[in-house]
Structure 1
Amino acid sequence: MRGKVSVELRGIMEKFNRLAFETKKLLDMSHGLAAAGGPFTMFSIKEQGDKIEKMKRELEQTCYRLMEQQPFTVDMGRIGFVLKSLPDVERIGDYAFHLGRMRDELGVAGYKDKGIPLEEMYAITRQMLEGVMAVLAGMDEELAGQIMEQDLLLGKINREVHGELNFHIETTPEDLLLEVAMTKAARFYERIGDHIVNVCERLTQSYPLGA
């Protein structure tokens, strides 16, 4: 029985990594929605969101079932990490979905003309998600530090975006709807970064993955 439990405990980390991968895919799909003739629709994005929610529920149920079997302390660390981090992954998916919906409703006309670096913010959050998956696989302390630095950069860009958009709101009120949407989008990317950092901090501080 213990051997079976140990296999399942290793499996929950692999499943969590897969969940992170599917969440990154949702972020990519939401971003790709903006491309002219892009292959993604809000229907396909919603399907991906539903897939992630199903994976999250199944992983959560597995964790609770394993807890009932009173695993060793290090194993409880793994279970605790997953359970505490699932809400962060869920919020990342929520923000990615909302970004896709805003792009679907408003398009991206004017983003580059107004000098708003949403493309850069998307690229940073994507790199951060990839970084978390790499940390999960190899417990790279240096890489974890880079993720923290990227989050600080996201915060800096978000503050600059808000200052720039406040200027545009005053000077081009006819574009108010788009400008407000871009302000929200920048904030969503920053919040995605915050949730990624939450996961990364648990990985590096809660317990040794290699134990």
Structure 2
Amino acid sequence: MTTRNSYDQELEYLRRDLLNMGNAVAIAIDEAVASLARQDEKLARKVMDDDDEIDRMEVEIEDKCMVLIARQQPLARDLRVIGTGLKITTDLERMGDHAYDIAKIALSMNNQPLIKPLVDIPRMAQLAQKMLKDSLEAYTALDITLAEQVCLNDDEVDHIYNQVFRELLTYMMEDPTTITQATQLIFVTRYLERIADHATNIAEWTIYLVTGQRRRKK
């Protein structure tokens, strides 16, 4: 195998590792929101325990990236591939942290009657998860069009976040006994909004990978 072929294979392994980490994060988000909706203590604890594996993946990918930089001294597009991998790994790890945070809230709310049916929060989670899936697909396929769509979809998540925030504030003003739980649910929506932001970051890094141009933030 030539040096270039070996290097390309290592870059492919890096891409594969990123997708595996993304899949683990997507599962964590899904299970965290499910643990809240179902008030499932066992599932919430599983999400929190599994976060260690996501952290391990981050460290492993970072180490591989640093070895590639040190050994290959990449230039131009190859350097963008590795640099983008490092950035995406950071975003994925932070998504995993937010899933952990949601599971922790689910644990603290276990067995408490919900002040309102959880309709918008699961919908928000589904949108954020789709953004994560699409951003990773765009990264894999180097699909700028799909990456741009992910960036646009962030507005819908922000809209739901603002809507739920106002609704929960109304609950607190009308009934002070709801303040503790409403505040916790506001945190959940904030974590989901941040997850969507990180998915947007991945899409923007994909655009940079393909074009070499940084997408201007709104």
Q: Considering the TM-score relative to the shorter chain, is it more than 0.5? A: yes
1:180-195 matches, within 5 Å, as 180-195=183-198
Deviations 1:2-25 (A, max 9, x none): 432221012111211111111101
Deviation at 1:96, TM superposition (A): 0.7
Paired residues, number: 208
Alignment RMSD, CA only?
2.2
* Percent of residue pairs bearing the same amino acid type: 23
In 2 relative to 1, CA 100–6 (structure 1 residues): closer, same or farther, beyond 3 Å? same
Distance in 1 (alpha carbons) for counterparts of 2:45 and 2:170? 35
> Quick one: which of 60, 63, 69 aligns to 1:61?
63
In 2 relative to 1, CA 196–36 (structure 1 residues): closer, same or farther, beyond 3 Å? closer
**Which blocks of at least 5 consecutive residues in structure 1 are unaligned?**
none
Deviation at 1:200, TM superposition (A): 0.7
Deviations 1:8-49 (A, max 9, x none): 012111211111111101111212223548595343213321
Deviation at 1:208, TM superposition (A): 5.2
Deviating beyond 6 angstroms after TM superposition, the runs of 4 or more aligned structure 1 residues are none
> Quick one: which of 115, 123, 126 aligns to 1:123?
126
Partner AA of 1:13 in structure 2? R
**Preserved CA contact (<8 Å) 1:13 1:78:** no
1:206 maps to what in 2? 209
1:165 maps to what in 2? 168
Distance in 2 (alpha carbons) for counterparts of 1:37 and 1:123? 18
In 2 relative to 1, CA 46–173 (structure 1 residues): closer, same or farther, beyond 3 Å? same
In 2 relative to 1, CA 194–35 (structure 1 residues): closer, same or farther, beyond 3 Å? closer
Residue 95 in structure 1 maps to residue 98 in structure 2: yes
Residue 110 in structure 1 maps to residue 114 in structure 2: yes
Distance in 2 (alpha carbons) for counterparts of 1:176 and 1:17? 39
1:141 maps to what in 2? 144
Distance in 2 (alpha carbons) for counterparts of 1:25 and 1:207? 28
Distance in 2 (alpha carbons) for counterparts of 1:171 and 1:99? 25
Distance in 2 (alpha carbons) for counterparts of 1:203 and 1:137? 9
Residue 25 in structure 1 maps to residue 42 in structure 2: no
> Quick one: which of 40, 43, 46 aligns to 1:44?
46
TM, length-normalised to structure 1: 0.89
Distance in 2 (alpha carbons) for counterparts of 1:36 and 1:156? 25
Residue 16 in structure 1 maps to residue 18 in structure 2: yes
In structure 2, the residue corresponding to 1:110 is in which secondary structure?
A: coil
TM, length-normalised to structure 2: 0.86
Distance in 2 (alpha carbons) for counterparts of 1:143 and 1:136? 9
Deviation at 1:111, TM superposition (A): 5.5
Deviation at 1:116, TM superposition (A): 5.9
